Amino acid sequence: MSENENSQPFGNDDTTMQKPLLLEILADRNLNPGAIRLRSGPDGIEAVLPFLQDPLFPERHDGFPWLADQDLAPELSQESIDAFLNAGGAFAPATSVQHVDATSRPVLDDATQWLSGDWYLGPPQHKSHSQAASRILALKLLHLVATDADTCEIETIFRQDPVLAYHLLRLVNSLGVGMGRHISSFSQAILILGRQQLKRWLNLMLFAANRDDYRCGMLLARVTVRARLMELLAKSAGLDRSTQELAFMAGMFSLLGVLFGMPLPEILPPLKLADGLTDAVLHREGELGFLLQASEKLENGDASVVEELQTQIAVDTENCNQIVFESHQWMLAVVQNKREAVDA
């Protein structure tokens, strides 16, 4: 999951674009991430078009549409409608999107194509032994990586979980860093990946390791957007690389309580996190706490947070829109990689 620090941003250079870009991840009928919905009416289409039309936009992600409500069409010019459709967007009839906030497994209407709401933020329906074992081992690995444990200790944990081991080797081999040869040793894989990227990957695996939990696909999408968004906000605010990494970690850890169905204060102590990171996740305190609150507001469609970002960390609407878009693009890549791993 490395990032290219030299990559050019999506979107145009039109500084007059000031419509906030507010997005929602929708689930498909299988309760997996299936679409991205524009929350902010006609303004949402105006805000997203420069990004979807940009030649630097790398992929269209077939089968994962950018949706606007069909009721918005009469409020738009034919030119805007054509531009949105040509850029990969689609209009969704009201009957095709079902909203559910009840924190239990949703029951879909016959006409439902997409599912909105926070239904997946409820507690796990049941906890299988294999699910609990994989996530406990992933937490142990996070602790070892965070405390700079010897590679042999980390390797021992991987040998205990074939799922984690498979995904580690698959990730490293897919990066194309093996100099023409595949990596089959855990120690080689850990060395090539590096401790920081290993830590980030383990965070993602916590949310992707369980096939029995109907929430995990949407939880992975939600937490990936949040973590990446916080990292990019920290970068745009001029914070150093170490703080950007902490921002990513704070976004990831903020949903561990939902994942495990346990209070966060019971989950975090074994990880021995820095006080600032713990304060941000548990109490929304400090600069990381502010970024976490801002990310949560953006997730919930609260446009007022854009003004807070401008005031607190000098991130204007244009920069915020770019960050929101790139965070969702990064999420799509993560979700796509997970699907390919499951199908392999």
Instruction: Summarize pLDDT for 209-250 with one digit per residue, the tens.
Output: 566 788 988 998 999 999 999 999 999 999 998 899 889 889
Please give the average per-residue pLDDT across 81-97, as a whole number: 92
Residue 77 lies in a domain: yes
Tell me, yes or no, whether 114 and 138 share the same domain. Answer: no
Q: What are φ and ψ of residue 100, in 5° steps?
A: -140, 125
Task: Pick the last residue of a domain from 176, 193, 212.
Answer: 212
Which structural domain range is residue 56 located in? 23-120
pTM of the predicted model as reported, rounded to 2 decimal places: 0.80
Using the 3D structure, point to which of 120, 143, 159 is the last residue of a domain. 120
pLDDT at 4: 41
Q: What pLDDT score does 213 carry?
A: 81
Domain tally for the chain?
A: 2
Q: Kindly state whether residue 224 falls inside one of the protein's structural domains.
A: no
In a domain, 261, yes or no: no
For the ranges 85-94, 159-168, 257-266, the maximum mean pLDDT occurs at 85-94
**Listed residues 155, 178, 212: the one ending a domain:** 212
Q: What are phi and psi of 116, to 5 degrees?
A: -110, 175
What number is the average pLDDT over the span 194-216? 75
In this structure, the answer to whether residues 159 and 114 fall within a common structural domain is no
Q: Mean pLDDT in the chain? A: 81
Residue 217: its pLDDT value, please? Answer: 87
Q: In terms of domains, do 81 and 149 share one?
A: no
Question: Is the same domain home to 192 and 154?
Answer: yes
Instruction: Judge contact between 250 and 63, C-beta under 8 A.
Output: no
For the chain, the C-alpha Rg in angstroms (whole number) is 20
113 and 149 together in one domain? no
Residue 149 and residue 91 share a domain: no
- Is 3's pLDDT higher than 50? no
Range in 57-61, 159-163, 167-171 with the lowest mean pLDDT:
57-61
Residues 6+ apart with CB under 8 A from 149: none
Report how far residue 201's alpha carbon sits from residue 142's, in angstroms, rounded to the nearest whole number: 10
Does 228 reside within a domain? Answer: no
Q: Please check whether residues 112 and 141 belong to one and the same domain.
A: no
Per-residue pLDDT tens over the stretch 11-32: 444 444 578 999 999 999 999 9
Q: Check residue 178 and give its pLDDT.
A: 46
Is the same domain home to 86 and 33? yes
The per-residue pLDDT for 14 is 47
From 4-8, 93-97, 196-200, 293-297, the region with the lowest mean pLDDT: 4-8
Say if residue 186 is in the same domain as residue 144. Answer: yes
What's residue 211's pLDDT?
62
Mean pLDDT for the stretch of residues 54-65 = 68
**Token pair of 82 as six digits:** 């054509």
Q: Are 30 and 105 within one domain?
A: yes
In this structure, is residue 296 part of a structural domain?
Answer: no
